[in-house]
A and B are shown apart, each in its own frame.
Chain A
Amino acid sequence: MIVAERKPIEEILPWLEGVRSVLVLGCNECVTVCEAGGKKEVGLLASALRMVFAQQGREVNVGERTLERQCDPEYLDELRDSIDAYDAVVSLACGVGIQFTAERYPSKAVYPGVNTCFMGAALERGVWAERCQGCGQCLLALTGAVCPVARCAKRLFNGPCGGSTAGKCEIGPDVECAWQRIIDRLKALGRLADYETLIPVKDWSKDRAGGPRKVVREDVRS
C-alpha cells in the first residue's frame, strides 16, 4: 500500500484562512489501511477544524466525504454535484489522489492533509515499513524476494558493503541489512549459488531518473 502520515493541523490551518466552506476528503484505499486518510481520519480532522473555527468565531461549513478512490476519475466524478458548495478541499488521499482531485476540479483549491511517505507493508498494527520504490525493473527474482533498491540504504546490487554488522545496517541499529536478508533467504531456499551471479548494471531510466513515468496498455485502453 501507499503509506502516508497525517499532517499536523497547525500546518493545514493557515491554508484555510478566509475560506467559508471546506470539504475534508478521504480515500477508502491505502490511506484508510494505514490509518492516515480514511473515513475515521476525515471525521477527526473535520471535528478538530470545527472546534478551531468555532473558537475563532468563524462560521465555516466543514463537509466530510470519503471516496472509494481518489486516483480514478469515476469515483472523483461523484463529487461533481456537491463540490461547488465548497471553497476548498483538504484531501487526505496520497499525493496521487490529491493531485488527481485538483486536476479533476481545477477551480478548487486542494490542499494536502497527509504526507505521503512510501510504498510499504504493515509490520504490525501501527508500524509500516518501506518495501518498494517502484524502480520500474523488478529484481526480486534474483534476490530471494528482498529488494536491494528499497531496503539497502546504498541500493547495492552485488552483496553488502562494509557497513553490515550482525545483520544490521550502519545507518542505524534498527535497520536490517538488506543483503544479509538476501543471503539468508537464498540460503534457506537452497539457492545460494545465485549470490555468485552478477547482477548487471541497472537501467535507471525506468526509475524516476527517466522523468515522470506512464504505463500504457493498448489491449485494455478504451
Chain B
Amino acid sequence: MRLGYPESVKIIRVPCTGKVDALHLLRCFERGADGVLVVGCREGDCHYQSGNFRARKRVGEVGALLERIGVGGGRVRMVNLSSSDAPLFVRAAREFHEAVLAAGPNPVGRRRRPEPAPARAGAPNPPPQEAIRP
C-alpha cells in the first residue's frame, strides 16, 4: 500500500508485546525518547494468549509513573492492531506523533548510550545488544 508514516517513528520489533517490560519502556525515556507507542495484536489474537493484555497493564503502569515524575504519562501509549491493519497503524502513528509533538521534547533530555565494557581476552562472546533502544 506504500502508506507513509512520520519519519520520527523508529520500528523496534519484539516477538510479542508481552516481551515489552516496564524497564524497557523506562530506559527509552531515560535515554531521551520523546514517546513510545506499543503496538500489540488485537485483543484475543495474541499467539501467546495474554501477551498484549500484559503489555497494556505495563504501559498503564509506566504511564502513571512517567506522569508522577514529570515526564508526562501521555508519552507512552498502546494500540492493538493486526499485521494487516496498515492504514490503522499509520493513523495511530500519526496521531501519536501529533500528541508527542504537542507534549514537546522529553524533559529528561538526550543521554548518550553507555559505552559497552571492553571485552576481556579469552572472554566468551559478549551478551547480545538489548532488543529495544530509542
Q: What is the interface of chain A, defined by CB distance below 8 A to chain B?
A: 8-10, 40, 43-44, 47-48, 50-52, 54-55
Contacts and interface: CB of A to CB of B under 8 A. Distances in A.
Given A47-B23, A47-B30, A50-B30, A55 B65 contact: no
A62 to B, nearest CB: 10
Across the A-B interface, the 6 shortest Cβ-Cβ residue pairs: A47-B26, A54-B108, A51-B108, A43-B23, A47-B30, A55-B107
B26 A44 contact: yes
A47 B108 CA distance: 11
B22 to A, nearest CB: 6
Contact of B22 (A44, A51, A52, A54): A44
Contacts of B108: 50-51, 54-55
B113 interface: no
Contacts of A52: 69-70
A55 B109 CA distance: 8
A51 B23 contact: no
Nearest to A42: B23
A48 B69 contact: yes
A54 B23 contact: no
B37 interface: no
27 contacts: A8-B68, A9-B69, A40-B23, A43-B23, A44-B23, A44-B65, A47-B23, A47-B26, A47-B27, A47-B30, A48-B26, A48-B65, A48-B69, A50-B30, A51-B26, A51-B30, A51-B71, A51-B108, A52-B69, A52-B70, A54-B30, A54-B108, A54-B109, A54-B111, A55-B71, A55-B107, A55-B108
Contacts, number: 40
Contacts of A10: 68
B96 interface: no
A47 B68 CA distance: 14
Interface of B: 21-23, 26-27, 29-30, 65, 68-71, 107-109, 111
B70 A55 contact: yes
A8 B64 CA distance: 11
B35 to A, nearest CB: 14
Contacts of B30: 47, 50-51, 54
Contacts of A47: 23, 26-27, 30
A44 B111 CA distance: 17
Contacts of A50: 30, 108
Given A47-B27, A48-B65, 11 more contacts: A9-B68, A40-B23, A44-B26, A47-B23, A47-B26, A50-B30, A51-B26, A51-B69, A52-B69, A54-B30, A54-B109
